[in-house]
Amino acid sequence: MKATISERLPRKKRYTWAVVLMTVLAAVWTYPWPAGIAANEPSLLGGKVTSSTGQALAGVPVRAHRDKSNRTVSVYTNSKGEYSYPGWSDVSPGSYTVAIELADYVPAKREAVTLTAGKTARADFALQSRTPSVIDVTASDIVAALPGTDEQKHLLIQCDNCHSLQFAFRTPRDKEGWIQIIKRMAGERAIARETPGTRAFGQKQYVEPLAEYLAQVRGPGSSDVIPFKLRPRPTSDASTRLVVTEYDVPRGGNRQEHIIRGDRRAAWPHDILLEANGPYAYYTDHFSFNIGRLDRRTGEVKEFPYAILPGMGREEMGIVNQAQERAGNPGGGAHDMAWDREGNVIFGLGGGTMRFNPKTEQFTPWAAGSNMFGLDGAGNVWYLEKGFHKLDPKTGEVTTYKIPGDVEDDTYDMETDAQGRSFMNMFRQAKIGMYDPKTDTFQTFPTPSPGSGPRRGDMDSRGRAWMSLYWAGRIGLFDPSKREVKEYALLPGHKPFGPPFVSPYSVAVDDKNQFAWANDFNSQRIYRVDLKTEQATEYFMPLPYEIRDLTVDEKADRPTVWIPAYRPPSKMVKVEVY
């Protein structure tokens, strides 16, 4: 059996001088490979990146955009400042624009770089440093430079769920002015609640403390210059051995620091679903009644509009109708996705469930369901929506089950295993709920870190539930056989609820390679946890993607995770590590 790329890489070394001499005699220029690039899979593009003083720069993403296409491929410089696109990457012969775009360096670009089969083009860069602009930084960078306690900063950084902190700080306000803004952002129902133990800013106990802090850092007479401190990019060998491929999507929009979540001028890809034995990836759009389909071979993207039934969608049953009227919640849109046993795409939206048949390209709607749901081994959809229910798509019948009334309001996401057991991520109570239909029982299990904020999750092949612990900056594993939750840190030595305020929104499990993937909502980073060693690797993304879902491709030759980049510029993103 032929070894995979990852199995072959450790045995490969640089070209010998004899090989170089033979290459020169053949009149083909060859670039000396950075460690990790297989010599028998020649690169089409490589080079070196230095500062203006000649210092090698590590961890720099180099972006190669194929001209007249929707595809951009990024690789990273190693400790010597060298980069090289692996032969297996999605860079192929053609004309490219090669660029480096970082907040602390003047953008650099090489246009019309022609890549030819069998040859390696070279593009070197000497970067000029510059003073970064607040436009280019993340919430993590801004909070790092502000005065205040960790608790105050932890509350503030949650504002980036709907908009940037640059947007939040545009206008100075006194305490009463900030109280009104907080109430609007959180919603009237949320700020009237008392939820002991939760870290959510949107509750009664935090309204005044957060308003007082905001009045201190952005009150009347304060400077309109927003401070920030760039977080260093990871530069280790492990953190720079990755290839990131982006595919632009229709209505992708442009980056705007002041755009409000849900702006209808753009697509807002929420979740992604991969065909196991085919070329397509599907994604939901949070704020329109469309699903998208990416052909992973060609990069072609097609949108499929669908019609909803009365009672479905945010406009009729969502947050706006509940008189909360908080920013970023226009009607429409879908979230969670799954494959049914017949190979159809099942996805959820407020008050409904949709089925898309990839063969006929037809939709089937049910006015029963929710944004987040679980799918059991028999193909039934389990969901929380004014109670706990099971939808049988074969008959359309809905069965209701009795669980405690506060579970729905506290649950952010849920998963269902093959046995029909449903696991609820109880966001505000920092617990994992489990309903077992065989015994008709519901139990809860606390996370080790109180107030951790279980958010979105995944199921592994052993029937264990994984979840992001959003406020604690960790990921969690609930093993139903052990009846306990275990936590994994994403940064060495990181204390829950402390700087740099890592906030994983979602988690995806790679059973094949024994990794768990997660993102940091507040910065330009994703993480991979090795489940054998429990050590995490940090990866810096080439753009500040806002991420609400990750999906592992276990059919890939090397560890691969797919990301829908939510906030414009919207993209489908493939991350491969080697």
Q: What is the DSSP string of 13-65?
A: -PPPHHHHHHHHHTT---PPPPTT--TTS--SEEEEEEETTS-B--S-EEEEE
| 90 and 143 housed in the same domain | no
SS3 104: coil
Q: 172 in a domain, yes or no?
A: yes
Q: Please, where are the H alpha helices in 329-456?
A: 406-410
Whether the CB-CB separation of 522 and 231 falls below 8 Å is answered with no
Whether the CB-CB separation of 523 and 567 falls below 8 Å is answered with no
Whether the CB-CB separation of 338 and 272 falls below 8 Å is answered with no
Kindly give, in sequence order, each residue whose CB lies less than 8 Å from that of residue 545, ignoring residues fewer than 6 positions away: 519, 524, 563, 565, 566, 567, 571, 573
Residue 17: its pLDDT value, please?
A: 29
| 119 and 197 housed in the same domain | no
Whole-angstrom distance, CA of residue 345 vs CA of residue 366: 14
Q: Which of these three, 188, 217, 246, is where a domain ends?
A: 217
Residue 331: its pLDDT value, please?
A: 59
Whole-angstrom distance, CA of residue 321 vs CA of residue 425: 25
Whole-angstrom distance, CA of residue 552 vs CA of residue 511: 9
Residue 29: its pLDDT value, please?
A: 32
Residue 196: its pLDDT value, please?
A: 75
| 99 and 146 housed in the same domain | no
| 44 and 158 housed in the same domain | no
Taking the CB of residue 344, how many other CB atoms lie within 10 A of it? 20
In tens, the pLDDT along 41-70 reads 789 999 999 999 999 999 999 999 999 999
Whole-angstrom distance, CA of residue 488 vs CA of residue 428: 20
Tokens (6 digits) for 84: 């090289």
Residue 460: its pLDDT value, please?
A: 97
- Measure Cα distances from 248 to 108, 128, 165, 267, 542 in Å: 21, 29, 25, 11, 14
| 143 and 123 housed in the same domain | no
C-alpha closest to that of 250 among 67, 70, 68, 64? 70
Whether the CB-CB separation of 117 and 45 falls below 8 Å is answered with no
Whether the CB-CB separation of 190 and 161 falls below 8 Å is answered with no
Rg of the chain, C-alpha, whole Å: 24
Place of tokens 């001499």: 21
Residue 330: its pLDDT value, please?
A: 52
DSSP letter (8 states) at residue 420: S
Q: Is the dihedral of CA 483, 484, 490, 492 positive or negative?
A: negative
Whole-angstrom distance, CA of residue 17 vs CA of residue 25: 12
Whether the CB-CB separation of 44 and 93 falls below 8 Å is answered with yes
Q: How many domains does the chain have?
A: 2
Residue 329: its pLDDT value, please?
A: 53
Strand partners, 411: 426
Please give the residue range of the domain that contains residue 90. 5-127
| 55 and 168 housed in the same domain | no
Whole-angstrom distance, CA of residue 303 vs CA of residue 282: 9
| 92 and 189 housed in the same domain | no
Whole-angstrom distance, CA of residue 191 vs CA of residue 210: 12
Q: Is the dihedral of CA 429, 432, 433, 439 positive or negative?
A: negative
Kindly give, in sequence order, each residue whose CB lies less than 8 Å from that of residue 430, ignoring residues fewer than 6 positions away: 197, 198, 446, 447, 449, 450, 451, 452, 453, 454
Q: 194 in a domain, yes or no?
A: yes
Whole-angstrom distance, CA of residue 347 vs CA of residue 291: 9
Whether the CB-CB separation of 63 and 73 falls below 8 Å is answered with yes
Q: 108 in a domain, yes or no?
A: yes
Whole-angstrom distance, CA of residue 378 vs CA of residue 165: 45
Tokens (6 digits) for 179: 């109280």
Tokens (6 digits) for 122: 């070279």
- The residue ranges of the chain whose pLDDT is under 70 are 1-40, 314-331
| 99 and 208 housed in the same domain | no
Whole-angstrom distance, CA of residue 113 vs CA of residue 122: 9
Buried/exposed code over 209-226 (b: 16+ C-beta within 10 A; e: otherwise): ebbebbbebbbeeeeeeb
Place of tokens 């909070």: 143
Quick one: how far is CA 522 from the chain centroid? 11
C-alpha closest to that of 542 among 162, 166, 112, 98? 98
Place of tokens 């093959």: 418
SS3 427: coil
| pTM assigned to the model | 0.90
| 121 and 147 housed in the same domain | no
Q: 198 in a domain, yes or no?
A: yes
Q: Which of these three, 60, 94, 127, is where a domain ends?
A: 127
Whole-angstrom distance, CA of residue 422 vs CA of residue 413: 10
Phi/psi region, residue 447 (left: phi>0; alpha: psi -120 to 50; beta: rest), is: beta
* Cis peptide bond upstream of 569, omega within 30: yes
| 83 and 160 housed in the same domain | no
Q: 183 in a domain, yes or no?
A: yes
| 148 and 175 housed in the same domain | yes
Tokens (6 digits) for 516: 């768990």
Q: 79 in a domain, yes or no?
A: yes
CATH of residue 45's domain is 2.60.40.1120
Residue 91: its pLDDT value, please?
A: 97
Q: Which of these three, 127, 153, 173, is where a domain ends?
A: 127
